[in-house]
Amino acid sequence: MTWVSHSVVTFATLFVATQNVFIAGSATLGSAFPDQIEGAFWKASHRSYSHWFVLYVAALAFFWTPDVFSVTGIKAWQMGIVEMMRRFLFWFFAGALLHILEDAICGPVPFWRPTKRTTVLPRLFKVRSVGEVLFVIGYCAVMYVIASYVI
């Protein structure tokens, strides 16, 4: 997926799931992380360590507390910078983990080993194709329908 598609799908997913713009925004920033961290090594190591879900699950476990879902603008301001950053990083890495899932529906990603890519889910479309655009539009339509019942 392109970073725009990752951003749109991640924001729609987390906003519908939590109805919280702080959570959805933090995850949207994190949804670009696995590709961005590859930087200059993109050609040589695309979708290896940066796309291994185990690292992001470990980050989520590290930053997890039972109150990660309860964050509002006022609470975030009152809780202090360390607590606010911990919650931001939890949702940032949740977005990065969603990135891996989103990549898994358009190509192989590492599963058992970080250096060996495997087809985990059926490939629904090719990256940068009309199929990707149609998937994002259809996904947002589904999220809109869900949101109209939930929110």
**Token pair of 117 as six digits:** 């890519």
Q: Is 38 in the site for Zn ion (CB under 5 A)?
A: no
x/- mask, Zn ion, residues 105-124, rule CB under 5 A, reads --------------------
Q: Is 15 left (phi over 0), alpha (psi -120 to 50) or beta?
A: alpha
Sole binder of Zn ion in the list 22, 25, 33, 35 (CB under 5 A) = 35
Q: Are 1 and 103 in contact (CB under 8 A)?
A: yes
The neighbouring-strand residues paired with 110 are 117
> Segment contacting Zn ion (CB under 5 A): 9-17, 22-30, 67-75, 102-110?
102-110
Of the candidate spans 32-40, 57-65, 82-90, 127-135, the one that interacts with Zn ion by CB under 5 A turns out to be: 32-40
Neighbours of 6 (CB within 10 A): 24
132 lies in the site for Zn ion, by CB under 5 A = no
In the complex, which residues of this chain contact Zn ion (CB under 5 A)? 34-35, 103
